[in-house]
Amino acid sequence: MLNRTIIASCLVASCAFGAATLPTAAAAQVSVSIRTAPPPPRHEVMPAARRGYVWVPGYWNWNGRRHVWQQGVWVKERRGYLYNQPAWVERGGHWELRRGGWARGDADRDGVPNGADRRPNDPYHR
């Protein structure tokens, strides 16, 4: 009976520990650093504007063996945020892919993020 209790306690503890570490692993972002420069960007025609969406142009992604083109897409707008485009940066003979994504915006550059700014697009707001 004591062995069953110990085994059950160990199982519960290991499950709880695994669940606690899961969000950290899921939040990790993989960085790409390779020696092969990406090809020149392809020309894409931006479709007509869509209310409530932001156009993310296409870019060269890395699939582990070669560059592959990711077509541009519309992504749902996030109020108070700016979308940083994916970009390749060369550093010491290696090419690094900056994945891009949403970041807190400060359109008028007054030091107050758009989400907390009562007048986020007023460059004369002080």
> Average model confidence (pLDDT) for the chain?
76
The pTM assigned to this predicted structure is 0.59
Residue 59 predicted with pLDDT over 90: yes
Name residues whose C-beta falls within 8 Å of residue 113's C-beta, 6 or more positions apart in sequence: 80, 104, 105, 106
The percent of residues in the chain predicted with pLDDT above 90, rounded, is 40
